[in-house]
Structure 1
Amino acid sequence: MDCSKSARKCHGQAIKFGVVDNLPVCNCLIHTYGCCGILEFANKVFLEMSRRDIASWNSFIDAYLDKWWELDLWGMRRLWLVCLGTGFMGNEKTVASVLSRVGLARRMFDKIRYRNQVCWNAIILGHCIHGNPADGLELFTDTVDRCKVGGEEGISPDEISFVGVLSDCAWARLVTEGRNYFSQMKNKFVIKPNFAHYWCMANIYVGAELSREAEEILRQMSDCVEDLSSDSVLWANLLISCRFREGATFGERIATSLIEKEPKNLSYYQLLMNVYGVAGQWEDAARVKQLMKDRGIELLGVIL
């Protein structure tokens, strides 16, 4: 049985057993139809849902993006208009989903009159990932300026916005600008830095061969971020996409040296696991977890 027939059969069974309005079932149907490339049915299930959650939206967006090359300009624009018209804000998964097609995304972004936070964040990060940091920084400045003058969007940068702008600075090796943005985030917009922000700052310093500053910012992170293990899981997908030049090498070196100096310090082991998590080196993260177990060091909270 081919993919499309299997998807329709599952849909029929959901109708038969009266669970077609069940939220997880609908989300699975959207995902399945999207994987099979049957956009009209994915769209039908989505529009007929009595309620939707973030997984519903992400499945719907993924379905369209997987078949973007078969859609005309209006088809892609309709996707954005549906999102914007319902006030959908999205999350990190949403942003990550739209990052891989920045040229098309920028054309759509320029055509949208009323833009929400997801639009701004996705396009800023997209420019960083595709090696156009100047464009990303220009868009960020535009966002801040609109906020200052009470522009039509009225959008203030959030924590994801600053992940984007700091990633741009890391790509372009802009140390002074990176420091200024980091300070602006904390002092002007009162956003508490998380693992992703510290990681970007460390990459900025490494790119400028400021190893001492990179080590210091990672030390600050281990002291300031309350739950490094869960924070890393949340941001890993975005940071993996940013493809920093040094990868995990410098972070691994610094975290390992910190562990050697203080072998009982839990935060340094968490830092090393996060470094591996951002690089997608999950086997190495598991190895650190086992090392902690062997040394009798307990990892509280969410474990990578």
Structure 2
Amino acid sequence: MDFYDAFCANTLIKAYSCSLMPQKALFFYFEMLKDGFFPNSFSFPPLISACVKMGSVKMGQICHAHVVKNGVDSVLQVQNALVHFYACFGLMDVAREVFDEMSVRDMVTFNTLINGFVKAGEISVAHKLFDAMVEKNVVLWNIMITGYLKLGNPGNGLKLFRKMMEVGCRGNDVTIVNAITACSRSARLKEGKSVHGWLIRKRVKLTLFINTALIYMYSRCQRVDIAQLIFDELSIRNLVCWNAMILGNCIHGNALDGLSLFTEMIDDKRGKKRVLPDEITFIGVLCACAREGLLIQGRKLFSLMKDEFNIKPSFAHHWCMANLYAKVGLLQDAVEVLRDIELDEDALPESSLFAGLFTSVRFQGSTYVGEKIAKELIEQDPLNFSYYELLVNVYAASERWEEVTQTKDLMKSRGILKIPGCGLKNLEEVVHNTRVEEEWRSREDVLALLQ
């Protein structure tokens, strides 16, 4: 075509923006400008969205400049796109400036800005905006409850859930799972049962999504028996659900039952594969072997993970194996398992937050074992930061704060200036965050777009 009308051009821009190659939306736009194309308010939201997908702050700022140049900076949909853009990159000061300049705002505007503050960790600012709103939809309630969960304050998340019920706002699956997760994170069995009872009384359809959250909650609250009853009643089970029950038994219940479930999951009576395990599954079964001192079975599972299922072991898997060796008196083997493991601070939590794993395994003598392993590693390589981090987290997990301070002082005296943090996470939370929450988070994003 020698000439692009606005409708045709905007359609192509949006198509490119929604594709796997969003950069083509920008390329196409700038090529059209050379041919005399005049963009309008419908041109910029998909362009700005493409910049978000590309992860390009610079291109987004250029698009913002074009928005102003073309006089569409007061159009609601364009302003919402800009708020979303800046919020996605954590530039909340700029997002707030755009918000403050808006003469008209809708639910999308508030949802986007509040979600941005939540993701930036500014939950108090988000809550003030939330309280100032007269009308709140379910997406906004979910954003706030999820924010408190992610920032380690499930109690406030539960308070919001109760308030939501009081004002008569009808929740969705995301809301329910968030409430159950809050009970799980804070180990509030009574409230978890209350939510479960409410679901039954209201005759809410208990989807696999909700049932999996209930299994995690009851397992975390030391009622694996109830979790097992829920699991046994399920006619459809996916990997997330299997992992929830396997981890529940392996960490909080009967470890041997967890291993039996693993066998049942991967093979049916005809010997065919049923559900393929992942790295989370193997954390559970290796924890079970460490608890029970099952050296031969633990070695077989570790090899099976690598050789048959092509799963690369993380620190969590090596940590389980180290504790298994130590459990049966093979301390030097435990040290060897961990000696060459590199700890990447930017990796997933289960590969670096070993204190959470250390706390969750809960087999006898775990504090002593962790301390012995870490000290042996430090003795062999006294300048390796990772080994000191291991020792600090072992002490922190057992609340031996004096030893934490002493270890940090030792690091300073040896010229190891980087001081590890002592923030701890339970293994179940790591598993929950990386495997269960991702299922409903994508659904929440879709819901937000539809509001």
Q: TM-score, normalization: structure 1?
A: 0.72
Name which of 248, 255, 258 aligns with 1:136.
258
Q: 1:32 to 1:252 in 2, by over 3 A?
A: closer
Name which of 152, 158, 163 aligns with 2:278.
158
Q: Deviations over 1:229-261 (max 9, x none)?
A: 965664544542331211221221232133233
After TM superposition, the structure 1 = structure 2 runs for residues 16-27 of structure 1, keeping only pairs within 5 Å, are 16=134, 21-22=139-140, 24-27=143-146
1:186 aligns with 2:306: yes
Query: Is the Cα–Cα contact under 8 Å of residues 283 and 316 in structure 2 kept in the other structure?
Result: yes
State the distance in 1 between where 2:156 and 2:403 align.
32
Aligned-pair distance for 1:176? 0.5
State the distance in 2 between where 1:145 and 1:42 align.
47
Report % sequence identity. Answer: 37
Who is 2:162 aligned against?
A: 38
1:248 aligns with 2:358: no
Q: 1:258 to 1:188 in 2, by over 3 A?
A: same
State the distance in 2 between where 1:45 and 1:293 align.
54
State the distance in 1 between where 2:370 and 2:358 align.
13
State the distance in 1 between where 2:404 and 2:312 align.
26
State the distance in 1 between where 2:410 and 2:355 align.
22
Aligned-pair distance for 1:203? 1.6
Structure 2: tracts of 5 or more residues without a match: 1-127, 423-451
State the distance in 1 between where 2:403 and 2:346 align.
16
1:197 aligns with 2:321: no
Who is 2:331 aligned against?
A: 211
Query: Is the Cα–Cα contact under 8 Å of residues 344 and 352 in structure 2 kept in the other structure?
Result: no
Q: 1:48 to 1:79 in 2, by over 3 A?
A: closer
Query: Is the Cα–Cα contact under 8 Å of residues 208 and 236 in structure 2 kept in the other structure?
Result: no
What letter is aligned with 2:281?
S
Query: Is the Cα–Cα contact under 8 Å of residues 166 and 181 in structure 1 kept in the other structure?
Result: yes
Aligned-pair distance for 1:14? 4.8
The RMSD of aligned alpha carbons is: 4.3
After TM superposition, the structure 1 = structure 2 runs for residues 158-177 of structure 1, keeping only pairs within 5 Å, are 158-177=278-297
Q: 1:282 to 1:218 in 2, by over 3 A?
A: farther
State the distance in 2 between where 1:108 and 1:89 align.
9
Q: 1:150 to 1:234 in 2, by over 3 A?
A: same
Worse overlay, 229-238 or 126-135:
229-238
1:149 aligns with 2:272: yes
What letter is aligned with 2:134?
K
Who is 1:261 aligned against?
A: 380
Worse overlay, 273-282 or 122-131:
273-282
Aligned-pair distance for 1:287? 4.3
Query: Is the Cα–Cα contact under 8 Å of residues 11 and 20 in structure 1 kept in the other structure?
Result: no
Point out the structure with max Rg over C-alpha: 2
DSSP 3-state at the match of 1:198 = helix
What letter is aligned with 1:176?
I
DSSP 3-state at the match of 2:235 = coil
1:115 aligns with 2:240: no
Aligned-pair distance for 1:47? 2.3
DSSP 3-state at the match of 2:306 = helix
Aligned-pair distance for 1:106? 0.3
Query: Is the Cα–Cα contact under 8 Å of residues 96 and 237 in structure 1 kept in the other structure?
Result: no
Query: Is the Cα–Cα contact under 8 Å of residues 218 and 226 in structure 2 kept in the other structure?
Result: no
Name which of 377, 391, 414 aligns with 1:272.
391
Aligned-pair distance for 1:104? 0.5
Query: Is the Cα–Cα contact under 8 Å of residues 350 and 357 in structure 2 kept in the other structure?
Result: no
State the distance in 1 between where 2:336 and 2:346 align.
16
Q: Tell me: higher relative CO, structure 1 or 2? Use CA pairs within 8 A at least 6 residues apart.
A: 1
Who is 1:84 aligned against?
A: 209
Structure 1: tracts of 5 or more residues without a match: 1-9
Q: TM-score, normalization: structure 2?
A: 0.51
State the distance in 2 between where 1:215 and 1:254 align.
6
Aligned-pair distance for 1:33? 6.5
State the distance in 2 between where 1:245 and 1:46 align.
46
Aligned-pair distance for 1:294? 3.4
State the distance in 1 between where 2:370 and 2:364 align.
12
Q: Deviations over 1:150-201 (max 9, x none)?
A: 54xxx32111111110111112211000001111112222222222211211
Q: 1:106 to 1:163 in 2, by over 3 A?
A: same
Aligned-pair distance for 1:288? 2.7
Q: Number of aligned residue pairs: give it.
A: 281
